[in-house]
Structure 1
Amino acid sequence: MTKMMFFLNWLKNPIKTGTFREIPKKAGKHILHFSQNLSQNDIILEIGGGSGSLTKYINNKAYSSAQSICIEINDSFCKVLRKKFENVKIIQGNAADLSEIISPEEMSRVRLIISSIPFLLINKAERNKILNQCSDIMESNLCPMLHFSYTSFYSNVFKNRGVVDFLSKKIKSFPTVHVNHYSYKNCSEAFSSIVKGMDFSEENSQKKEIKEGKTK
């Protein structure tokens, strides 16, 4: 039922939904590498929860005791998320208004940002507003961001803000999913140690210089 609802929402509003199917399990499991050492006081912020295909990994208490906050603009998806994840704080709203819908205290406790928003499909002004606010959190809290999309994505916003660690892993699925990892230099030691522990084969992933990243 959830898969059908996801597809119907895509038909109704492809830009907001972003894709006609959910992110596959193989991609979602990468979240566990980054969440397993987070404490109960830490927050994982999900931007664009959809029907919860990534939320179930974010909320996996067997790996992490961190709290979860999920921002989702679609009313139908919010209802599904609230029903499936009672212990996740679901906020219906536009991620471009992130600083207005999340308290400064909660913002200060974010240790990981997860997003599957189709940044290339939304208008530039809104995209840049979201990415700038994500950059604020990453810089202040020295935390990484994972972006799940159907292309390798590196924004000029990140480049101009000094986000220097960028790695994109390609997950074989239909359509192909890219797990894009971002962090600031001061976070790079912890970021690199986690990435080294993951299965990044030479065939499916590559470390990229900033100038080689796709910029939009």
Structure 2
Amino acid sequence: MSRKFNFFKEALKNYKTSGTVTPSSRFLANELLEPVNFSDTKLIVELGPGNGAITKHILKKIKPNTHLVCFEINDSFYKELQKIAHPQLTVLNVSAEDIEEEIHKLGFKQADYVVSSLPLTIIPKEISSTILKASYKILKQKGYFTQFQYSLSYYGKLKEIFGNNVSLSFELLNFPPAFIYKCAKK
């Protein structure tokens, strides 16, 4: 069976944790990663990587001194991500709520970037709020949190956390088209 069909089947079965039925396009990945300065990055954290569409884009661009840590709670996607053999990749079958504790266990104090594909609009508000606050806390100064969504419903919440340091773009070349939030910690 093709990887796209497997993604579709798993996404339909677990829509409440995947939030989509198609993998992210390369155009969406490029827009989501636009703020990332790959040349001097130590740690990138990816939340909700699914089958690894964006993960693979990150791994193509990272330098030898960079580590990528992915948080994926869907067991099937977690198993799929473990098949990506890359020495700079750590995949955790842990909720993004535990981001701070988990990166500390791995020996990191802060992340340079947090890249999120989490379906925030369908995650319970208390959990999504915890995830966003924890992501802000572990980001270094001048770090970025990037998030894509299919609606503008989280714009206000992100502005509560990141203040006026939230910019918005739209990627038409994705199915479905998506909004990309780029949030700087300043």
Query: What TM-score do the two structures reach when normalised by structure 2?
Result: 0.86
Larger Rg: 1
Q: Which residue is 1:90 aligned to?
A: 91
8 Å CA contact retained: 2:82, 2:91: yes
CA distance in 2, matches of 1:14, 1:101: 25
Matching residue of 2:150: 150
Moved more, 112-121 or 99-108: 99-108
Q: Does the aligned pair in 1 maintain the 2:32–2:180 contact within 8 Å?
A: no
Task: Give the superposition deviation at 1:38.
Answer: 3.5
C-alpha separation in 1, matches of 2:137 and 2:159: 13
TM-score (norm 1): 0.75
Equivalent residue pairs, number:
180
Alignment match, 2:8 = 7
Matches within 5 A, 1:182-197: 182-184=183-185, 186=186
- When residues 80 and 117 of structure 1 are mapped into structure 2, their CA distance, relative to the original with a 3 A threshold, is same
CA drift of 1:82 comes to 1.4
1:160–1:36: structure 2 CA closer, same or farther, 3 Å change rule?
closer
Question: In 2 relative to 1, CA 163–17 (structure 1 residues): closer, same or farther, beyond 3 Å?
Answer: same
**Aligned match of 1:27:** 28
Higher relative contact order (CA 8 A, sep 6+): 2
Offset of residue 36 of structure 1: 4.0
Equivalent residue runs for 1:1-216 within 5 Å: 1-39=2-40, 42-61=42-61, 64-65=63-64, 66-87=66-87, 88-103=89-104, 105-108=107-110, 110-138=111-139, 140-152=140-152, 153-156=154-157, 158-172=158-172, 173-184=174-185, 186=186
Whole-Å separation in 2 of the counterparts to 1:161 and 1:22 = 28
Cα distance in 1, alignment partners of residues 117 and 30 from structure 2: 14
**Is the contact between residue 22 and residue 175 of structure 2 (CA under 8 Å) also seen in structure 1?**
no
| Residues in 2 aligned to 1:34 and 1:162: alpha-carbon distance in whole angstroms | 15
Misfit runs of 4+, over 6 Å: none
Q: Which runs of 5+ in 1 are unaligned?
A: 187-216
Contact kept, 8 Å, 1:74 with 1:92, in 2: the verdict is yes
**Structure 2: 5+ residue stretches without partners:** none
